[in-house]
Amino acid sequence: MKFPISVRGLLFAVALVILVGCGGQDHPRCFPVRGQVLAGDRPLAEATVLLHPLFESAPVIPRPIARTDADGRFEISTFGTHDGAPPGEYAITVELRENRTVGEEVIRDGRNLLPSRYSDARQSDLRCEVVAGNNDIPPLQLPNVP
């Protein structure tokens, strides 16, 4: 297909803006963070894992977060899916919300089923350090859940 020069130029400019916009990294570099949550000796599925920096961070940086799978395993995401977290020390919180029905949909946003200390970064004794490279957190051991 032949386009006039002005249309080709416009298409080139749009493509360039898209490439530069998507390729530029204006946030801290992240490194993979993986782990597992256990309740007693069983994997804890559908729990939310959140990392809270114990260092000064820019206010625009989102909290690194993950959701556990059926085996209690998780991979942290900060700016993109499973991109990990910026280096530093973190307090870890874990919540398991009760299922609630909204219309025909079941969502997990009810009351927290875990002891409250695990949902408060100041009270949680769970910690990790993210370093350059792959980060495998030892299993996070929580009490049995009803």
Stated pTM of the model: 0.79
Residue 117 pLDDT exceeds 50: yes
What are the residue boundaries of the structural domains of the chain, listed by start? 33-142
Chain segment 126-141, per-residue pLDDT in tens: 999 999 999 999 999 9
CB 22 within 8 A of CB 38: no
Calculate mean pLDDT across residues 17-30.
59
With a cut of 90, say whether residue 59 has pLDDT above it: no
Tens digit of each residue's pLDDT (9 = 90 or more) over 42-55: 999 999 999 999 98
Residue 111 makes CB contacts below 8 A (sequence gap 6+) with 97, 98
Residue 2 pLDDT > 80: no
pLDDT of residue 56: 77
Whether domain 33-142 has CATH 2.60.40.10 = yes
